[in-house]
Amino acid sequence: MRERGRRNANFILPEAKGDDMKKLLFAVALLAGCATTSTEQASDQTSRGGPGPTQEEPRNDGKNTENMTTFGMGYDLKMYSPLSQINKSNVKRLVPVWNFSLSNDMGELSQPTVYNGVMYVVNGNWTFAIDVATGRQIWRTPVVYDRAVLRIANAGAIMRGAATIYNGKLYRTTLDAHVMALDMKTGKEVWKRKFAEHTEGYKGVVAPLLANGVLITGTTGGEHATRGFLVGWDPETGKEVWRTHTIPAPGEPGHETWPKTADSTPDAWKTGGGSTWQNGSYDPQLDLVYWGVGNAAPYDPKYRGGGDALYTNSVLAIRPKTGAIVWHYQFTPNDMYDVDGSNENVIADLRVDGQMRKVIINANKNGFLYVVDRTNGKLIAAHPMTRVTWATHVDLKTGRPVLTDVAARLTAGEEVELYPQRGTNAIMFAFNPKTNLVYLNTWDLPRIQQFVPYKFQKLGEPSTAVKGRNPVVKPDDVVGHHLAMNPLTGQMKWKIPITDIPNGASVMATGGGLLFTGRPTGEFIALDEETGKTLWQFKTGSSINAPPITYTHKGQQYVTVLSGLGGSVVKRFVGNRVPTGGSVWTFALMPE
């Protein structure tokens, strides 16, 4: 049966007539009219928001739906909410209630947090506090950083993660490798600390994680002759508590995987990559943080001895109080494809062979979806989520991929086309604990690369030792999929083709049977969790790259997402087809 209603370019509008339609449109206009981007601090709002979440509140994200205090909508990063006011039967009545400009053209990749009626938003250039109900600005604070760092920042000034809030303070990093604390009520700086020299290739693009009273930050720089690390900070004072490098030094376990050979760079481990540029998850019961580690560098393994190159392309389980590594699992030993291992690790409990197991699920850039025991790092399952040609499968006994001839051809100097270019593009997938399925957007495009000579000269220099080119994408070419997948069996419940431009958006699942995600052309969409069918869409002004959230305010459910073309890879494929410009969009149901 054809759905009744009128469709405009932006969203599906339920059918209404006469005075009813006028009332509905007036209500929407009134709500939208509340939005403002005034630069003046709204003094009547400054009593809200503080003193800020306690250590217990992030553990309970989802229980108090009025607050959303952590990235990923919980320490477990499930990107799932049980909220069901907005559901499959009424999602066509979803409309924007306010929109807020973020004064930024460099891209929006972060996720808002919400506390006591205030929304906190970060990007590479600003930090904002916004009234949840009206979209009115409470305060905004510019990010002060050395603009010289933009010369080595391929993606510009971006921010991944969320505004990290705790005990009256908002924590964030800056592009020039600093971590800082702001007062949640006023936006004024409380403290600021440097964690590395940006002139040596290090940058701050990932939000901090607060775990067991310690603030943990990562770094990027895996393509610039760096050595990755995590740092633990005292959130009150900004004092450095510990620093754990992702590449072991001589005498430390794992250093033997960086052998010295005739071709290897002297002390290759000092510049071997292993950046920590995506976000960590936290299990308070086990008191373990799970953080992914990026690619080894250079890509050509002969310059680093041809060993496994620990702990690159791995997940590390660490103690938040000390930074001690409890266990590791390496997804791609001796990575030469730039497939990283930095993707977020989602915490879940799954029944395996009749027993409940504590696991993490990782949608890896190398094309495989992994299930790993989060108590000990033992591999449970690994299945391809997209086309994979560099390996035939992952051996469950050894935990290692079984390679095809791609590696040998690369090291022989050939230009090689291999799949995938990336399984996913630094996005969040959703895990629904009721269905035990993951929902994600994958890529199905090749990487075309060839190794080139490299000679180390200084810290922070480009160090990939590779040249590459993008594949030609023709109109209507399938470049990826929306899909629902069983992480233990690899079975696809459904798989919907994505055409023309690959998708760089995260997915959120809700108790209303909906999946919210976006498109690089700017549409924010809701899919049917059962079938993958698009049920609703709204056209924003720029690309959707950021993870959405849902929450309640005074009992009413809202959905919020950031719009703004950003990220070097997505920009490469979008070109000039979509304008830049960051903004916040908040949606609610139109009254019946």
Residue 424 lies in a domain: yes
Determine how many CB atoms are found less than 10 A away from the CB of residue 147. Answer: 10
Residue 369 lies in a domain: yes
Of 7-11, 228-232, 439-443, 542-546, the poorest mean pLDDT is in 7-11
pTM greater than the 0.85 cutoff: yes
For residues 28 and 408, the model is more confident at 408
Total domains in the chain come to 1
pLDDT 10s digits, 346-403: 999 999 999 999 999 999 999 999 999 999 999 999 999 999 999 999 999 999 999 9
pLDDT band at 8 (very low <50, low <70, confident <90, very high): very low
For every residue of 243-298, DSSP letters joined together read EEESSPPTTSTTGGGS---SSSPTTGGGG-B----S--EEETTTTEEEEE---BSS
Residue 1 lies in a domain: no
Relative to beta strand 178-183, strand 169-174 is antiparallel
User: What is the pLDDT of the chain when averaged over all its residues?
Assistant: 91
- Domain at 342, CATH number: 2.140.10.10
Q: What is the pLDDT of residue 50?
A: 54
Residue 533 lies in a domain: yes
Q: What is the pLDDT of residue 48?
A: 57
102-123: average pLDDT: 97
The SS3 assignment for 170 reads strand
184-193: average pLDDT: 98
Segments forming the whole domain that contains residue 520: 6-463+476-554+563-589
CA angle 244, 250, 255 (to 5 degrees): 75
Please state, in angstroms and rounded to a whole number, the distance separating the CA atoms of residues 166 and 532.
37
Q: What is the pLDDT of residue 27?
A: 45
For every residue of 507-575, DSSP letters joined together read -EEETTSEEEEE-TTSEEEEEETTT--EEEEEE-SS---SPPEEEEETTEEEEEEEE----HHHHHHHT
CA distances from 453 to 171, 228, 239, 337 (A): 41, 23, 42, 16
Q: Say yes or no to pLDDT of 11 above 80.
A: no
Amino acid symbol at 191: W
Of 46-55, 236-245, 455-464, 519-528, the poorest mean pLDDT is in 46-55
pLDDT 10s digits, 282-301: 999 999 999 999 999 999 99
Residue 572 lies in a domain: yes
Residue 78 lies in a domain: yes
Please state, in angstroms and rounded to a whole number, the distance separating the CA atoms of residues 171 and 179.
7
* Chain CA centroid to CA 198, Å: 22
Q: What is the pLDDT of residue 59?
A: 79
Tell me which residues are annotated as active site.
Answer: 338
pLDDT band at 494 (very low <50, low <70, confident <90, very high): very high
Q: What is the pLDDT of residue 54?
A: 85
Q: Say yes or no to pLDDT of 13 above 60.
A: no
Phi-psi region of 505 (alpha: psi -120 to 50; beta: other; left: phi over 0): beta
Residue 468 lies in a domain: no
Exposure b/e, 455-465, CB count within 10 A at least 16 = b: ebeebbbebbb
Q: Say yes or no to pLDDT of 514 above 90.
A: yes
pLDDT band at 469 (very low <50, low <70, confident <90, very high): very high
Residue 163 lies in a domain: yes
Q: Tokens 């990010």: give the residue.
A: 143
